[in-house]
Structure 1
Amino acid sequence: MSTVLIVQFIALAVSVLSFGVALWLYTWVKSQPSKNSRVETIAELIRRGANTFLRREYVVLAKFAGVAAILILLFIPHPIWTGGALDNILMAVAYLVGTAFSALAGKVGIQVATIANKKTAVAAQQGIKPAFLAGFRGGAVMGMAVVGSSLLGVTLLFMLTQDATTLLGFSFGASSLALFAKAGGGIFTKTADISADLTGKVELGIPEDDPRNPAVIADNVGDNVGDVAGMGADLFDSNVASMAAALVMAMSLDNGTPGKNVLTVFLYAALGLLASILGVGTAKMGRGGSPTRALNSSTYVTTAVYAAITALATWQLNLEWRIWGAAVIGLLVGTIIGLATDYFTDDTKPPVRHVAKASQSGPAFTILSGVSYGFLSVLPAMVGIAVASFASYLITAPLGAGYAMFGIAMSAVGMLSIVGMIISNDAYGPIVDNGRGLVEMCDLGDTALEITDSLDSAGNTVKAVTKGFAIAAAGLTVIALLGAFIAEVNEAIVTRGLNIELLTGFDIMQPDVFFGLLVGAAIPAVFSAMLILGVDRNAQRMVTEIHRQFKEIPGLKEGKAGVTPEYDKCIDIATTGSLKELLPAGALAIISTLVVGFVGGVHAIGGFLTGNIVSGLLLALFMSNSGGLWDNSKKYVESGHNGGRGSDAHKSAVVGDTVGDPFKDTAGPSINTQITVVSLISSLMASLFLTFSLF
């Protein structure tokens, strides 16, 4: 048995181990006490609403996936009537498997999050330690399951086909579903969040999770469908895309037969999941400890373990130390970007406190200061991505032709190596947010509310860090996918015997490249506008419904006993509106790529991808960080600073948070999926763009 095959079986074994750990964590979470009839009732409303949305969303996306699979069958990697039908069949099947795995990631997240939220709420009555563990281990179920399934899917598909290009189809399936799932979930969650805040906090001065508010259940449902299901599909997609891009280049460097470079990709990915499993096991917190410190320390443990065990494996198997160096550069830069994001979004740091102070002067100053700090926060991350790609390029270039771009791909694999821990931290956020809502709605006491407030604040900070990490990882991944696109074009030139020079790069002074560059740079801005306008229109409909209920249901506003809002009406508005709004923005990204490719050819697509990557990363980082900054500024005021709850500063901070909501939870994190999708489409369509372009 070859060493490559042994490593692939090791990858499969680590995937199975992660499923075992996920099952143990799920069983542990489920076994925690939650015997409180009021908590059970409200939690069931949230669970039912989340599953209803997911079911309706997946029906819509299944239709899209079916149409896309037929088009792939007919045209990719080449028109089916020109011969080689098996390649087209494999690509279509790989695409459908990718969508199914991505959908499963969302479903698993919803399943555990809607159990962990009530366990966290009840555990908060016992203390911060049990509440933290319930929230974190609930999130870790998703982390282990998502990364395990991505490694399992890529490994099995590669072992069956021995074709890295087919993996691009698998990755496109994951990415296209993630794009729509993240957009749809983001529109849902921010529709409800904005509506609940504006009508509750600003108009009536009632608490965030007051059960009188008709939007409060939809708000809690939204945390699950947006921040759990959507983000799970998003990071599943990023992990698969990074491995697919690296394997395309590895197969090229190994001359079409799996060798040392393919082995390195699978080995580093498997060890990354193993490090995450060990990191999850170390996440503990003392009675007087800080939840933020506990979450961050487990991330640092995972990072250190990964660096050590990959170094040991590199030494034992006599692999290239330069490739290891590229992977570790990505890993370290990802950690640094997370720390920079933390500085701009943590309420113990100056930016958040300055925005909270500015809120005392009115909402205009809240917006101006938040926008300014949001733009400032972009620089460290963009420089970090630039340094990671440049350093990885330089360190691996001496290995030979093609290794420089492979180094960038391995840097992306390294950055995403600890994605199991990143997803665990990210899913923790909405779980404890829901737990806090249940504590307030079910009146579980001031102590439990203080504990869940502390957990929620840590969740907001860590969630901002994980979003920054996910966007940075997507940035490195799509740079690697740009390399995969060049490799696919050159393979098509050689295979078809075309009398065309092989691609080595793109000259922006060429008119077709510059044309693509400008169009590509504009797409993320238009894409973001469509999503935010979707939230705007949907939230206006929900605010009208909330006003109707407060007006027409006697005793609701006063909180009379036995009077409950019509929660389902708000859930239905959020669901129907988000499903209506999610398709146009995603379709824009896909159709614009096809138009540019068929008009300008492969050089125009090179410019298009470059412009899309740079513009997309900038906007994604700005919106994600400014949104997190506004959110924590609001929470900082609510904790008693700068006037506290009900003050003018509080109302201004709520307005800032309302603007930031669709920034950080709808448009921002959806852009990194958008740039991945257009990069994958370009690689899959490379042969067609080369043959059928207008110019």
Structure 2
Amino acid sequence: MFWVYAAIVVSVASFLLAGYLYYWVKRQPGGNKEAEEIAQLIRRGANAFLRREYKILAVFASVVAFLILLFLPHPIWKSNFWTNFRMALTFLFGASLSATAGKIGMDIATIANLKSAVASKKGIAPAFEVAFKGGAVMGMAVVGCSLFGAAILYLLTKDPNTVLSFSFGASTLALFAKAGGGIYTKTADVSADLVGKVELGIPEDDPRNPAVIADNVGDNVGDVAGMGADLFDSNIASIAAAMVIGLSLGQQHMVFCYATLGLLASILGVLFIGMGKHKDPGKALNTGTYITTVLFAVLTLVVSLAFKYDLRIWGATMVGLIVAVIIGITSDYFTGDGKKPVEKVAKASSIGPAFTILSGFSYGLLSCFPALLGIGFSALVAYKLCEPLGASYAMFGISMAAIGMLSIVGMIISNDAFGPIVDNARGLVEMAKMGDDALVISDELDAAGNTAKAITKGFAIGAAGLTVIALLGAYRETVMNVTGSDISFNIMNPLVFFGIMVGLAVPAVFAAMLMLGVDRNAERMVAEIHRQFETIPGLKEGKEGVRPEYEKCIDIATIGAIKELIPAGLMAIVVTLVVGFIGGIHAIGGFLTGNIVSGLFLALLMANSGGLWDNSKKYIETGVHGGKGSDAHKAAVIGDTVGDPFKDTAGPSLNTQVTVVSLISSLAANLFIAFSLF
């Protein structure tokens, strides 16, 4: 029990650090009146969206909790009422904590964007410090919440299934928060770019554009609140899967030990990070990640030797950690500034938009191979490394590799939240006319933030990959505990094959539904932007005192995102249940296999293609191939608008979808055994 109490203590330490950083950022100097007004518009828009989204999700979560009360883990008329009640309560607890983590991150991001913009007038180091510390508030809060919740629940119940239910609540909320935030942010981004940059040739954050505030709001509700909920979900899911497998081995204490040391390493990494003498923001972010990685490796090795834990399990954990770094480096190569793929797509853009799309999509496909190879290799090595310890230890090794991959998630989230903060800061610098020097600095930070976001998206998808493999093991463990016999998923079994084929299709349908949601919503917003430019005298010319009706675009993005977010997530959950009730536990085993492979492939393709198109556009904006306003630039903007829903809506939502269906499969395993058609 020592490590459960240690998890609570270190979680509290992360909350204290988050509180200190929050108030440090808040105390930094504010901007001029115009900058303050714009920042308030962004803040109000983000809060309005979250309020409306969370109201709908609260109703949805209450309905799901009621169904859990009736049916999980067993129908209530055949079960102990308090067992079902506890499952329903922990589901709501997980959803609430996930929502809280997203809200905290968004709250600090909408403060830090202004403070970083103002600090950029002093230099790149002060602006970087404000933005990173703002992002670190979210990193500490998200990981602290997930570990604290898991430790408290295990302390009270000693039941890993309760932690699974907690994880399911977090994952369900994350699925809808990421989908809704992604639809919102890309509706505004695509609309603003198509009308502003392509049609009118005005700058990205020109205050004349009616969609520009909605675009900045979207960065917060999608890339901050949504990604926070997403990584909260991945972190708690990996802990839950490892606990379910580890309980039968008496190794659940190792799960809390390594997760606690990972958070401790992230706390120390956040305290160490700084710009240094080279003044390179990208290098500073990467250095923080490497420091955290080394700290975790050393801490876990020392503790494993001190507590006489088997070093094979430590080795499996290290495999996951190393592969996480490799996936990040791979994403950086295919999406980073100054790398060959970005330069080649930028060059292709000078021929025309078709070549922008073809080259970017092709490099996106290529980028999947090393990442998927890494996930598969880490699972294989972890399995074989721990196999000599016993059959169940092999799957436990994979679950600990997932813990290793997510061990530094506190630092990863801090880096990820840095991206939208500096993106908003750049917009504020331009809209509030803070000067060319501040704009150059904020542009450099924005470029580093874009690369950081691309790396963290690859990391999040890779982490989800190992986590869901561990969840597949947890599902198998759950079924074996219920049936009392071993189970395998033979592809020649027609029930397994049926499940595989349906599982393969679901991520594609899910992604299509989200992107069509962006498409429909963006059409409405483009029409509204045209209306304002045509009917508001002096708006297009930038006449003094004339301002667009920003609230109209914010409303379109909000209403459309709320309308579109439920159907896609509901489809994934309903199809999982239908497959289970038709084909039973064997069909679900195949379904999860197909869903995992298809979901990870599409998520990597979309995240990396989108990041590549985005940075190719930014590379052209530095002056190459004709620079801003050239035909190459217009083609690159079209590529970027295609990539926006790829990388910020469908791609990152897919790894959450895979986690959700894996969790619901484990929780509903008893029902599939009792009530399947075949």
Q: Smaller-chain TM-score range?
A: over 0.9
Deviation by residue 1:117-157 (Cα, 9 ceiling, x = unmatched): 00010000000000000111000000001100100000000
Quote the Cα distance in structure 2 between the aligned partners of 1:219 and 1:283. 29
Shift in Å at residue 287 of structure 1?
Answer: 5.9
Deviation by residue 1:17-72 (Cα, 9 ceiling, x = unmatched): 00111111111111111141111100000000000000000001001001000000
Query: One-letter code of the match for 2:273?
Result: A
1:229: which partner in 2?
225
Shift in Å at residue 493 of structure 1?
Answer: 1.1
1:150 correspondence with 2:146: yes
Structure 1 segment 295-310 matched on structure 2, within 5 A: 295-310=285-300
Contact 1:127 1:287 in 2 (8 A): no
Quote the Cα distance in structure 2 between the aligned partners of 1:70 and 1:7. 33
Quote the Cα distance in structure 1 between the aligned partners of 2:176 and 2:248. 32
1:385: which partner in 2?
375
Quote the Cα distance in structure 2 between the aligned partners of 1:264 and 1:99. 26
Quote the Cα distance in structure 2 between the aligned partners of 1:145 and 1:534. 31
Query: One-letter code of the match for 1:379?
Result: F
1:257: which partner in 2?
none
Structure 1 segment 57-72 matched on structure 2, within 5 A: 57-72=53-68
1:620: which partner in 2?
603
Shift in Å at residue 73 of structure 1?
Answer: 0.2
Deviation by residue 1:330-350 (Cα, 9 ceiling, x = unmatched): 000000010011000012110
1:274 correspondence with 2:270: no
Structure 1 segment 214-225 matched on structure 2, within 5 A: 214-225=210-221
Contact 1:425 1:462 in 2 (8 A): yes
Q: Secondary structure at the match of 2:619?
A: helix
1:252 correspondence with 2:242: no
Contact 1:392 1:411 in 2 (8 A): yes
1:502: which partner in 2?
486
Structure 1 segment 378-457 matched on structure 2, within 5 A: 378-457=368-447
1:42: which partner in 2?
38
Contact 1:128 1:287 in 2 (8 A): no
Q: Secondary structure at the match of 2:248?
A: helix
Contact 1:129 1:287 in 2 (8 A): no
What's the TM-score, normalizing by structure 2? Answer: 1.00
1:313: which partner in 2?
303
Contact 2:220 2:420 in 1 (8 A): yes
Quote the Cα distance in structure 1 between the aligned partners of 2:606 and 2:170. 24
Query: One-letter code of the match for 1:366?
Result: T
Quote the Cα distance in structure 2 between the aligned partners of 1:189 and 1:624. 15
What's the TM-score, normalizing by structure 1? Answer: 0.97
2:199 to 178, 200, 203: 203
Quote the Cα distance in structure 1 between the aligned partners of 2:490 and 2:81. 36
Q: Secondary structure at the match of 2:624?
A: coil
Shift in Å at residue 83 of structure 1?
Answer: 2.8
Quote the Cα distance in structure 2 between the aligned partners of 1:488 and 1:96. 22
Contact 1:516 1:600 in 2 (8 A): yes
Contact 2:31 2:114 in 1 (8 A): no
Deviation by residue 1:147-180 (Cα, 9 ceiling, x = unmatched): 0010000000000000001111000000000000
Quote the Cα distance in structure 1 between the aligned partners of 2:79 and 2:442. 61
Query: One-letter code of the match for 1:417?
Result: S
1:363: which partner in 2?
353
2:576: which partner in 1?
593
1:182 to 153, 178, 182: 178
After TM superposition, which residue ranges in structure 1, 4 or more long, deviate above 3 angstroms?
none
Quote the Cα distance in structure 2 between the aligned partners of 1:303 and 1:579. 38
Quote the Cα distance in structure 2 between the aligned partners of 1:488 and 1:691. 14
Shift in Å at residue 288 of structure 1?
Answer: 4.5
Shift in Å at residue 281 of structure 1?
Answer: 1.1
Query: What runs of 5+ residues in structure 1 fail to find an aligned partner?
Result: 255-260, 495-500
Contact 2:186 2:645 in 1 (8 A): yes
Quote the Cα distance in structure 2 between the aligned partners of 1:350 and 1:335. 20
Quote the Cα distance in structure 2 between the aligned partners of 1:427 and 1:288. 23
1:16 correspondence with 2:12: yes
Q: Secondary structure at the match of 1:368?
A: helix
2:531: which partner in 1?
548
Deviation by residue 1:533-560 (Cα, 9 ceiling, x = unmatched): 0000000000000000001100000010
Shift in Å at residue 113 of structure 1?
Answer: 0.3
Quote the Cα distance in structure 2 between the aligned partners of 1:94 and 1:250. 20
Quote the Cα distance in structure 1 between the aligned partners of 2:644 and 2:121. 29
1:658: which partner in 2?
641
1:323 to 307, 313, 336: 313
Query: What runs of 5+ residues in structure 2 fail to find an aligned partner?
Result: none
Quote the Cα distance in structure 2 between the aligned partners of 1:306 and 1:649. 45
Deviation by residue 1:429-464 (Cα, 9 ceiling, x = unmatched): 000000000000000011100100000000000100
Structure 1 segment 636-647 matched on structure 2, within 5 A: 636-647=619-630
Quote the Cα distance in structure 2 between the aligned partners of 1:559 and 1:206. 11
Query: One-letter code of the match for 2:206?
Result: D
Moved more, 76-85 or 432-441: 76-85
Shift in Å at residue 110 of structure 1?
Answer: 1.1
Quote the Cα distance in structure 2 between the aligned partners of 1:250 and 1:287. 46
Q: Sequence identity, in percent?
A: 67
2:551 to 568, 578, 587: 568
